[in-house]
Amino acid sequence: MANKIKLPGLIDVHVHLRDPGQTHKEDLLTGTSAALAGGFTCVVDMPNNAEPITTVERMKAKHALAKQKAVSDIGFHYGSLGDNLDTFEEAAKYSVGLKLYLNNTTGGYMLDPAYLKKIYAAWPQDKVVLLHAEEDFIDVAIESLEGLKRPVHICHMPNREVLDKIIGAKKQGLPVTCGVTPHHLFLNEKDADKLGVYGQMKPSLKPQSDVDYLWENLDWIDLFESDHAPHTHEEKKEGAFGVPGLETTLPLLLKAEVEGKITRSQIIDKCFTTPARVFGIPTDEDTYVEVDMTPYTIKNKDLKTKCGWSPFDGVEVPGKVSKVVLRGETVYENGEIIATPGSSRLLSEK
């Protein structure tokens, strides 16, 4: 273990693995391979597929694909446009949480906020509702929490304005949690200018003063979520929102640790302990990750994500995942996926 560190298998509750429907840019094998390569042994996939996961049949079809292809543990969030509340009871048996989009983003599955209260009442009270609510929808999102007892998670805090409103809600004792993405912690508006189309995502990158505010208020941020959102080069040129993140999140956080911006225990808390607790994800002592703390440079050509690029191409980081063990079995070692596709665990299988 010379120069190696050991971490628990990390959990990412916010990824877009595009399968079924858009497997030209990612699928459940390449996406979960990217997860292992980045030290994540469990991911939860979002419902904004080419056909949104808003029916029990589509949810079951996704499970069937995962049973053939997944190499990391995986669960799924269900979706709603307000017209499928009668499916919630059955769908919830197959779901980790319910994701609702108040803003427009990939897929265009925007929910009218007038449905929020009815949806909160219909979705099982012990399962999380996740909201995509940017500056223009954060007030309506916060208002919807009033008097609520059920858990609501607000995704990807981009800036001071949105985070301050969440902090206010938390101070009132409302049952809300929030996450932040690595791109909102490690990139700013100026990087967006340099990256061009590769720096476009929802929410967008913000001024460095907002980035600094997120770092200063880490204690209010419950968890890190990569929002791994692969798109092809052609799609990016046409304006697609999103960047991949599964393989770069942990190395970037370790870089921040070396720079004194975060502690090891905060990394473990926000990439493992808290996501497991908030989303009810089981953990095992014999599921862990070894990181070889030899500096390396992130390179597009080394990535397992099918899209084959990262906004962090060329960034030097202090370590790289060298081995991943899932319930006692080595599933990844020195760049190679060893797990048999379909051998990992599905969360929330009926």
Size of the site for ligand DOR (CB under 6 A): 11
The letter for the amino acid at 307 is C
Q: Which of ligand DOR, Zn ion, none does 49 bind, CB closer than 5 to 8 A by kind?
A: none
Q: Which is nearer to Zn ion, 35 or 324 (CB)?
A: 35
Instruction: Kindly tell me the sign of the dihedral angle through the C-alpha atoms of 314, 318, 323, 328.
Output: negative
Q: Which of 169, 201, 211, 253 binds ligand DOR (CB under 6 A)?
A: 201
Q: Which of Zn ion, ligand DOR, none does 242 bind, CB closer than 5 to 8 A by kind?
A: ligand DOR
Helix (H) or strand (E) run with residue 143 in it: helix 135-143
Smallest separation (angstroms) from ligand DOR to the CB of 229:
4
Smallest separation (angstroms) from Zn ion to the CB of 291:
26
Instruction: Kindly tell me the sign of the dihedral angle through the C-alpha atoms of 164, 169, 172, 178.
Output: negative
Size of the site for Zn ion (CB under 5 A): 1
- The site string for ligand DOR over 2-21 (x = CB under 6 A, - otherwise) reads --------------x-----
- The site string for ligand DOR over 235-274 (x = CB under 6 A, - otherwise) reads ------xx--------------------------------
Write the CA distances from 259 to 219, 253, 255, 318, integer angstroms: 18, 10, 6, 10
SS3 130: strand
SS3 72: coil
Q: Which of Zn ion, ligand DOR, none does 48 bind, CB closer than 5 to 8 A by kind?
A: ligand DOR
* DSSP 8-class letter at 305: S
Smallest separation (angstroms) from Zn ion to the CB of 15:
8
CA atoms of 316 and 209, how far apart (whole Å):
23
Smallest separation (angstroms) from ligand DOR to the CB of 252:
17
Residue number, nearest CB to ligand DOR? 242
End-to-end CA distance of the chain: 40
Smallest separation (angstroms) from ligand DOR to the CB of 12:
14
Asked if 22 is part of the footprint of ligand DOR (rule: CB under 6 A), the reply reads: no
The letter for the amino acid at 328 is G
Q: Which residue has the tokens 């070692």?
A: 333
- The site string for ligand DOR over 89-128 (x = CB under 6 A, - otherwise) reads ----------------xx----------------------
Q: Which of 227, 235, 290, 292 binds Zn ion (CB under 5 A)?
A: 227
Helix (H) or strand (E) run with residue 43 in it: strand 40-45
Token code pair at residue 179: 């996450």
CA atoms of 329 and 32, how far apart (whole Å):
16
Token code pair at residue 280: 């009810």
Write the CA distances from 137 to 104, 140, 167, integer angstroms: 11, 5, 16
Asked if 202 is part of the footprint of ligand DOR (rule: CB under 6 A), the reply reads: yes
Asked if 48 is part of the footprint of ligand DOR (rule: CB under 6 A), the reply reads: yes
- Residues in touch with Zn ion (CB under 5 A): 227
- Residues in touch with ligand DOR (CB under 6 A): 16, 48, 105-106, 132, 201-202, 227, 229, 241-242
